[in-house]
Structure 1
Amino acid sequence: MSSTATDWLATQFNTASWTVNQVCIPILFFVGIIGWTLNTITFSRPSLRSNSCATYFHASSWANLCVLFWSPFIYAVGNWSGYRLPARSILFCKIRIYFITMFCHTSVAFLLLACGDRFMLCSRNANRRRLCHVRIAYKMIIITIIICALLPLYIPLKYNRLSVVSNLCIIDIDFLIFDITYKSTIWAIIPPSLMLTLGSLTIYSLKQNARQIANIRIQIHSKDRQLVAMLIGQITLYITTTWPYVAMMIYNVLTQNILPSHKSVTRNAIETFALSFSANFFLYLYNAISFLIYTLTAPSFRRELFLALVPRFIRQQFHNRIGATTTLQQAENRTGKVSYIRSRAQVMIE
């Protein structure tokens, strides 16, 4: 490849890295804030507050907010202002990495709890189904936060080196293999394995409950089925966004002894882009767009969001307008009996 083509390719990757850092990451943060706001509003609805799985989703939204603050927000502020506090204070750098790791663990753990909750709900064992309660969910959330706060305590103790490239704190060389193994296991191996196992068992149980076996059939409400769909969407998103970062992390370990001066300009540009995209943007896509997954996979979530955002008088006008053009409408009178009204002109609610 000629030097001109090489320089052009390196320039393109450098431009892509700049776009990721200066444009994509701030957009990711603002999208995450909007999604967190709408998630919080929706999961605070009375119909979802009483559901244990929705409680785990709600808690996961708060953990995602903390991740977005400690990573994309601080990173974007440093790029825009030119004052990168993590590069100037090793103490702040340690605290930042600790909280990013802690809240990433917490968010994933809540998703695992939601998987377990749906699996137990489909069980034929009544004692297991009783565990799918909001009070149990609150206790499990507190226990999970404590465990996730303890797991990455090695970070403030062992992140003492400064990177030659970024001037950020990095793991001590004698703990590098441990750090890579820990993150690969906790992020990329254990959670996806448990998610896929529990998700598969939940889907199998739903299919089994759809059949009449020995005159015993567990009734699963439509909203609970839609929560399973939301869960499957979150699992798919998590696995998709995690593995590129893990692959890049392993690559950095394998090539750590090769100095940047011994690499070509194009290779350095490609590695910089891959690291920026996988570690600073794509990894946190899971934390930012959960709202879109919920909206696309669950009609009940869209309905609750509609009820939460649209004022009641507007909903009533909308309902009347739809009812006026519907050939078959259902109305409930004061006695609770259901009557069917065939009319194109008006809706009559007794």
Structure 2
Amino acid sequence: MNRSNNSSQIILRLNEITANIYRSSFPPLIIFGLIGHVFDIIIFTRPKLISNSCCNYCLASSCVSIIQILFGQFFRLLKGGFYMPIPVLWWCRVRVFFLYSAYLASTTLITLASADRFASSCSQVKYRRWANVKVARRLIPIVLIISGLSQSHMLALFVVHRDGEKECWAPRHSHYRLGYDISFLIVHGIIFPVLLGTFGFLTIYNISRRCRFDQQNGPSSLRRHRIRDFQRMTLVQTACAIALTLPFAVHKLYLTVTTFELKTPETLAWELLSMSIVRLLWFFHDSGAFYIYSLSSVKFRHELFKFLDEYLPRRAPRHSHYRLGYDISFLIAHGLIFRVLMSIFGFLMIYNIRQRCDNDPENRLSHLKCHSIQDFQCMTLVQTACAIALTLPFAINKLYRTVIIFELKTSEKLAWERLSMSIVRLL
């Protein structure tokens, strides 16, 4: 009996951890992923880059990845984090079709971008002619069509499994499911990462060879800088493609291979937890494309900074009531009002849970409710303390610099102010 109770508590705890992984990690993953892809679209549509064939592939990949985030991560958050599945067969098929079609198209376009860089670095004209905007704009729709056709079987063959998770996938105990999971592992876990790494290092080899050939002509320093840039970008791309994709593919194949085994509820709970972790890594590969690929390139970073310099609003004039009023309102809103509201709602929630726990006549779920009280207390205290400690110093420092702006300051005092601002801005 004690063993059964311990097993039930372990299962509840594992399911709670799994749900918390989805709740805590997927919202920032979705938000930062959408922001990153919007930045990618801005970068690759810049006048200097839109005429580049490689950037056209990256632009199309970013647009497709937005579809994957919306159809994959958002509904996975509802299902895994808030237990809100949509077990409608036609919707499940359409959602999975768009998710995996977009993922295949995005990965293929990134690989074509790597191949395009290799072609542009070749000395032979027969290879360089493939690094052309016209070629890229013809290949992109072909890739999208082939990706959709290759995943179209999902619209007819996938089913909703009537178990606790209500997962939409290929039928269990079928060679079709085993074959698809094996092909997914081979294509996304092996072939695409190998192609990315191969084209990347061949590009580095071509640039290095041209650098040695032109060493006496002067631009060797620029070439060496490009080599280092490509080396860093290639290593980051290849390592992330393997580390973030392979665990998900291996785990899906493992679930398919072991589908005939009888598993205890505790084993199933551990599998759900491990799947949430590898799924998080898999989704991060697409949400983090801007931070993995674009920010690892010096050229792309420069274009982003140029855009921000051109279009971001300028700072308010130093000697203005508008600046003073804005800094005061910023301090009141972000340093006081929001923090007070956060703590009030948090402690009111704790009070309501305590009241429901005390009014429970049969003392049912008391352990779970007491655990919820402790969890909410800890979360509320941490949220309120962090919000005050990390936001208030920045707001006060901004207001301080605005108030004393008319004072004459020494160079040393200005240096101390810049140092303090860097510290509170970091917070």
User: How would you bin the TM-score normalised by the shorter chain?
Assistant: 0.7 to 0.9
**2-structure distance, mates of 1:254, 1:77:** 28
**Does structure 1 residue 191 correspond to structure 2 residue 192?**
yes
- Which residue of structure 2 aligns with residue 64 of structure 1? 65
Judge conservation of contact 2:40–2:294 (CA < 8 Å) in 1: no
- Which residue of structure 2 aligns with residue 318 of structure 1? none
Q: What pairs with 1:304-319 in structure 2 (closer than 5 Å)?
A: 304-311=303-310
- Structure 1 unaligned runs (5+)? 316-350
Cα shift at 1:98 = 0.9
**2-structure distance, mates of 1:227, 1:40:** 21
Q: What pairs with 1:1-350 in structure 2 (closer than 5 Å)?
A: 3=3, 10=11, 12-78=13-79, 83-85=84-86, 87=87, 89-172=88-171, 173-212=174-213, 226=229, 229-260=232-263, 263=264, 265=266, 267-279=267-279, 281-294=280-293, 296-311=295-310
**Higher-Rg member (1/2):** 2
Task: Output the amino acid matched with 2:49.
Answer: L
- Which residue of structure 2 aligns with residue 338 of structure 1? none
With normalisation by structure 2, the TM-score equals: 0.65
**Structure richer in helix, relative to its length:** 2
1:211 is paired with a residue of what secondary structure? helix
**2-structure distance, mates of 1:32, 1:312:** 22
Task: Output the amino acid matched with 1:36.
Answer: H
**2-structure distance, mates of 1:51, 1:196:** 21
Judge conservation of contact 2:207–2:227 (CA < 8 Å) in 1: no
Cα shift at 1:302 = 1.7
Task: Output the amino acid matched with 1:234.
Answer: Q
Could you give the per-residue CA deviations for residues 241-266 of structure 1, whole angstroms, max 9, x where no partner exists?
11110121121122212344xx252x
% identical equivalent positions? 24
Could you give the per-residue CA deviations for residues 192-244 of structure 1, whole angstroms, max 9, x where no partner exists?
2222222222222222222128x999999767974674454333222211111
Judge conservation of contact 1:108–1:191 (CA < 8 Å) in 2: yes
Could you give the per-residue CA deviations for residues 175-208 of structure 1, whole angstroms, max 9, x where no partner exists?
1222212212221222122222222222222222
**1-structure distance, mates of 2:160, 2:239:** 35
The verdict on how the C-alpha distance between 1:138 and 1:189 changes in structure 2, with shifts beyond 3 A counting, is same
- Which residue of structure 2 aligns with residue 348 of structure 1? none
The size of the alignment, in residue pairs, is 309
Judge conservation of contact 1:31–1:288 (CA < 8 Å) in 2: yes
Task: Output the amino acid matched with 2:103.
Answer: C
**1-structure distance, mates of 2:137, 2:219:** 25
Could you give the per-residue CA deviations for residues 26-79 of structure 1, whole angstroms, max 9, x where no partner exists?
221111111111111111111111211111111111111111011011222456
Judge conservation of contact 1:223–1:300 (CA < 8 Å) in 2: no
Could you give the per-residue CA deviations for residues 82-117 of structure 1, whole angstroms, max 9, x where no partner exists?
5432x2x10110111111110110001001101111
**How big is the alpha-carbon RMSD for the aligned residues of Structure 1 and Structure 2?**
3.1
Could you give the per-residue CA deviations for residues 264-312 of structure 1, whole angstroms, max 9, x where no partner exists?
52x3332111112213x21111110111124542222221111112237
Judge conservation of contact 1:114–1:231 (CA < 8 Å) in 2: no
**2-structure distance, mates of 1:313, 1:103:** 32
The verdict on how the C-alpha distance between 1:194 and 1:269 changes in structure 2, with shifts beyond 3 A counting, is same
The verdict on how the C-alpha distance between 1:313 and 1:198 changes in structure 2, with shifts beyond 3 A counting, is closer
**2-structure distance, mates of 1:146, 1:224:** 35
Task: Output the amino acid matched with 1:130.
Answer: R
Of structures 1 and 2, the one with the larger relative CO (CA 8 A, separation 6+) is 1
The verdict on how the C-alpha distance between 1:61 and 1:102 changes in structure 2, with shifts beyond 3 A counting, is same
Cα shift at 1:81 = 6.8
Task: Output the amino acid matched with 1:95.
Answer: V
